[in-house]
Structures are given as C-alpha cells and as structure tokens.
Chain A
C-alpha cells in the first residue's frame, strides 16, 4: 500500500479513545437510567468494568501476533472461509456504526441548529470531512486528533461545572444501598454502546513499534479510565440537571443539558451549544477511523496495498455510509436499529470474538507447539507482552 507509518503510544491511546467517544456521547445516559432506574450508577460502573476488561481481552488477542493485524494472522487459527466471514462481519459492523453515528448527529444538527438545511448537506459535509481526515492514512489522522481532541474535552468539563448551578435533582445521584441485579445488568447492557468501537485495536496495534506496545496498552487503558471518569462526571451533571424521569424521555440528554448554559455578555453566549458543535469533531474522528478500518479490513482480501486503491475504497465506503444514513427517515427508527440490531451484534462481537480467537489459538498451539525460540522465553502463546519476544 504505502510505507508503514508508526504511531506513538500516546497517539495509539488517543485513537482508541476517539474510536468510541464520538458514538454514544449524545444520547448517553438515557438507556442506562431508563432500564437501571435507581441502580443506574451501579450499571454505569459495571459498564466501565466490562469495557476495561474487554479492551484488555482484545490486547491479549493482539499479543498473539503483535506485528500483524487480526485478519493477517487469523487464518493460522481458523479456516479461510471462517476468517472471511469474520472479516465480512467486521466490515459490516464498522459501516453500521458509522451509519448510526452519522445519522444520529445529522438528526441532532437538524433539530437544534439547522432545521431547514437538507440532511444530505449536513451528513455529506461530515462524511467529506471524515474522508479528508482519513485521506493521508493513519499518521496524519492521529496528529489531527492530537490537535482537536483536547479542546472539546476540556470545554465539556467547563460546561459541566457551569451546570452545577442548575442542578435540582441531586438526590438522584445517591447510590442505592439495596442493589437489584437485573435492572443493573439491563442498564449496563442497553448503555453498552458508549464504548463501541475500541476493537479497532486489531488494526492499530501493529502500527505501534514493538518495543512501545506494552506502553501503548497501558496508555490506552488509562485513557479509557479517564474517559470513564469523564462519562461519570457527565452522568452526574445530566442526571442532576434533568432529573431521572425526564432524562429517560429526552432524545439527546447531554445536548439538552448543554443548551441551558448561557453566559451573558460573552460573544458566544450559548457556550454549551458551541461545545455540542465541537463534539462534532469527535464524530468526525469516529467516522474517519471507521472508514480507515473498513479499508484495512477489506484491502488485504483483494490483495491490493497501494495508496490509490486505499483512496478508492475510502470513497466507496464513505459513499455507502452516506447513502445508508440518508435512507434512515428519522431518529425513531434509528434508535430502534441501535437497540435491536447494533447493540446485540456489537456486544456479541466485541466480547465473543476475542474469546473465540483466544480459544482457537490455545487449541492450535496445543496441536502445533510454538517454535522453540518462543518456548525458551517462557511464552505459552497467551498473555505475554510482545516486548519480551523481540
């Protein structure tokens, strides 16, 4: 395709964070409160736990062959047809996530900012910008994120602090002393979309230098911990401002809360809405990463590794995403699609696939012991950082 460009551990962590933050930030934590009720806080903590555990699990898969993306080494453990099937599902899920995220943000923009602008113009502008971000492959994409990601994050925290004055429902923040298991699980399940996307580590991991991969893992996990803290802060602010019953009825709770921030005398007095627009940068990063991943999953199957081919696939994937997003008529069917199709499919994929691969790898290693050199280092196929092997 083109000369490999390495990314730093920090960029890796940032890309992993960007791969999920732009997806659920707008509708969070509606489903959580709706299904978990007073146990929403426990549901959120459970969600953090599974996300961190799942990311660690994916890193274990990465460590099987740290210098190769998933679909380059998967045929070693699975039949070729099954590998192709998994690759196909992966591509479909990437596109599905991109479509849902794009359509959701398009509806949001139309509702609050651009009521008379056609959706194709809104969605088209975002897709084209995402294509441009991904046009020069991963290294410029990572550098773009480094530049634009921190501003919305810091401003969001600032807006959150300004919302404290509007908190009227602080009682709802108290944790329940009597934990109900089923509502907690339901809340964590229906809100799981918050972390969808970090499985792109399957393609990103090999781009980190071998000696830095352990550091990159650590950074990515810490970035996720910080993201969890960010979401916890957002949860407290939104719940305290909107109240639990009202929150469960709002389409985009975080946006509704941000709209209340009004600083008189400032040039942009509706600072909260500005932050929502800046969250569009997170969506752009999310879209760009999805498109980039789709291509990196597809291209090896076609044996093409050149930049023009990469760009051709990029434009094709973008056009597909845009067309599918525009085919969704309103937010109601989109929410239904998210809850009934995307949620179970992605959750099954994120949690099931790494377990399946690790099991297949263990089985394969038992049948065919790893090379002697690896045995000498004490590696037994699983769970050892690559840095020990190189």
Chain B
C-alpha cells in the first residue's frame, strides 16, 4: 500500500511538469516553418506566417518530390507592434499559431529601423522561438514567402538544408536569430544578413546586407560578397577570373584563411589583413604551364584578389560599417581609445587597411 502511494505521488509530480497544460495536438496547430517581417502602411508591421499544408507535410515525411497541391499557405497580420500583428494573424485562423518549428525568419530590407528593433526584441524575449532558426534579409517578404519551389518541397526545409550544407554554397552565409542578437548587443561589429531573393528559378543567396542601427545600409554585390567572405572566413568555394594577356584565366575552389594584425598608428587604427588562399586552376589557355609561369599566374591572382578585397573594404569604410568585427577586442579592452574619433564605426572609417594575399594553386588538373 505504501509502495503504491509513492507511485501515485511520483506520477502526480510528473503530471505537474508534463506540459499537458499547454498541450495541443499537432492537427490543432499551425506550425509556421517560415516567418516574414515586413513593412505595412501607416508605419505598421506586417507579419507573414508560412504554414505547410497537410499534403506539404505528408510529402515531406514521405520524402517524395512534386505534389499537385500547394505545399503551404500564408497567414498575414498587420499591427503597430509585432504583438498586434501576431494577434491579428491568430484571429484569421482557428488553430494555434506555433513558432517552435520556425526554420527561417525573413526581414524585409525596407523595414523601418524601429520595426526591425521591435521584431528583434520580441524574438529575443520569446522563449518558445528556436534561436537557431536562420535569419535572412529580403527585398520583398511577401514575394519570398509566396515562392513555391518547383520540386514541391517546403521552402523552409529547402532553405534549412541549404544553409546546413557546408559543401553546397560558394559562401557560408547562414545566420541565425541568435547571431542577430549577438551582433546587435555586442559592440565593435555590425550586423549582416544574407540577402535572400525569390528568383525565376528559386531562391538566390549570394549577397550580403550589412546593417547599421537596425537598417541595411549596404547591399553587397555577389562578387563583393565573395571577396568579403574571404576576409570573414565564409568563402570556401570561391572563384576568380582575370585577364592574362588576350585570354581569361579562371581559378576555382578558392579557400582562404584570414589573419589580422591590429595597431594604432597616427591616431587611427591600422589593420593589416593577410589571406592564405589555396585553390585550383580551372581555365588557362596560354601555352605550357611551367613552374615560373604558374608562379606568375599565382602572383597575378594575388594582386587581383587583393584589389577586390581592398575595394569592398573601402565600400564598408565609406558606409561606416564593420561586419567583420575588427574593433571588437579594442572596444572591450580599450573603450576610451576612440574618444577622439567617436565610436568604433567612425574609427573604422578612418582606418588604414592593407591587404596581402598569398595564393597557392595546389591543383592544375591533368594538363600542363
């Protein structure tokens, strides 16, 4: 009898913490896989939830490809705050909008800074939101979330697997909600997000949006993104094409290991960047590739790459943004050093930057 008493008490205690109070069967939930935050008229926020349909989820579980039905639908809400927009979206459905399965959160590049800040603040406070969900910037949230991939698969799943695949992309541009939070609160670094566009053939991810004070101030082109990716350690399958006399030379599979040396010279920062790059020769049409010629190709490639990297860093300096985070250590350990120049952003804008590239082609293929 006493033994049974213990069992009953034990089960009761487990019952208290089982979470059954908030349990809702999955068929009564709207599991949002993608979430979009965009601007709405009258300075309001538009919140769009991408909800997989039953056939979308079934196709997912079976692992099959195309489906005749749409694999998802959208629910929208508009409000002065994120909470209002969420409430309005919730009112449009009889099921519980659930954010625990969100794979991708998209922010419009046209989102006003206050709205962006509100969104980030709410996501930080939401205990149920998975902070490892991917965060992206996009020119049009509605267009992005409405894009149905031709494969019929769920967009959120495609994007999540794409970001999670280290060998699928030229640059590893994956950013999470957590990264957004750390970049916002930590000083000496600016937030950047991958720019995700809805192209005619699906998603396009090869650009970077750099933020300053909750507003994207710089959208880098794909070549610029790749060049900056070398400095940030993000580019692992880079390409480089340059003229060599009358012909083109193309390199591929470029991978860089960046090294920085920081100093304070003449009242401003001096940043020396060294890139150790390895790669393969993809196209070379000009005669036999002897060791001196190969060395000359490498030297030409080093110069070209250094020029590209210097150019993109100069653009960052002009925009007063530092997504690399060169100044983080200084801001933490020597916060008074920038007093004369203002913030680190100002100091970075006045910094002298030198770029040195050491490039080795370790694969020239089966042709001399």
Ranked 10 nearest A-B pairs via Cβ: A116-B22, A243-B186, A246-B185, A171-B329, A125-B16, A111-B127, A121-B16, A117-B21, A112-B127, A245-B186
Number of A-B residue pairs, CB cutoff 8 Å, is: 74
> Of the candidates B128, B131, B182, B329, which one forms a contact with A168 in the assembled complex, judged by CB atoms under 8 Å apart?
B182
* B9/A114 in contact, CB under 8 A: no
The SS class assigned to the A binding surface is helix
Please, how many angstroms separate the alpha-carbon atoms of A249 and B333 in the complex? 19
Given A117-B17, A117-B21: 19 more A-B contacts, CB < 8 Å: A37-B332, A38-B332, A109-B17, A114-B19, A114-B22, A115-B22, A121-B17, A124-B16, A125-B16, A125-B17, A128-B9, A168-B182, A171-B329, A174-B333, A176-B333, A243-B185, A244-B332, A249-B185, A259-B131
> Of the candidates B127, B178, B184, B332, which one forms a contact with A260 in the assembled complex, judged by CB atoms under 8 Å apart?
B178
Interface residues of A (CB under 8 A from B): 37-38, 109, 111-118, 121-122, 124-125, 128-129, 132, 168-169, 171-172, 174, 176, 242-246, 249, 256, 259-260, 262, 264
**Within 8 Å of chain A (Cβ to Cβ): is B187?**
yes
Interface residues of B in 317-353 (CB under 8 A from A): 328-329, 332-333
What are 14 pairs between A and B in contact, CB < 8 Å?
Answer: A38-B333, A112-B127, A114-B19, A115-B127, A121-B17, A122-B17, A124-B16, A125-B17, A169-B186, A245-B185, A246-B181, A256-B131, A259-B130, A259-B131
Question: How many B residues have CB within 8 A of the partner chain?
Answer: 25
Contact string against A for B residues 158-189, beta-carbon threshold 8 Å, 1 for contact and 0 otherwise: 00000010000000000000110110111100
Contacts of B17 in A (CB 8 A): 109, 114, 117, 121-122, 125
Interface residues of B in 183-232 (CB under 8 A from A): 184-187
Contacts of A244 in B (CB 8 A): 186, 332
Contact string against A for B residues 7-22, beta-carbon threshold 8 Å, 1 for contact and 0 otherwise: 0010001001101011
Please, how many angstroms separate the alpha-carbon atoms of A129 and B9 in the complex? 9
Q: Which of B9, B17, B22 has the largest number of chain A CB atoms within 10 A?
A: B17
> Of the candidates A114, A169, A172, which one forms a contact with B21 in the assembled complex, judged by CB atoms under 8 Å apart?
A114
A315 to nearest B CB, angstroms?
13
**Within 8 Å of chain A (Cβ to Cβ): is B55?**
no
* A245/B187 in contact, CB under 8 A: yes
**Within 8 Å of chain A (Cβ to Cβ): is B132?**
yes
A292 to nearest B CB, angstroms?
19
Contacts of B187 in A (CB 8 A): 245
Contacts of A132 in B (CB 8 A): 9
Contacts of A256 in B (CB 8 A): 131
Contacts of A168 in B (CB 8 A): 179, 182
Please, how many angstroms separate the alpha-carbon atoms of A113 and B184 in the complex? 26
B324 to nearest A CB, angstroms?
12
* A117/B22 in contact, CB under 8 A: yes
* B16/A260 in contact, CB under 8 A: no
Contacts of B182 in A (CB 8 A): 168-169, 242-243, 246
* B186/A121 in contact, CB under 8 A: no
Contacts of A169 in B (CB 8 A): 182, 186, 328
Interface residues of B in 123-165 (CB under 8 A from A): 127-128, 130-132, 164
Contacts of B185 in A (CB 8 A): 243, 245-246, 249
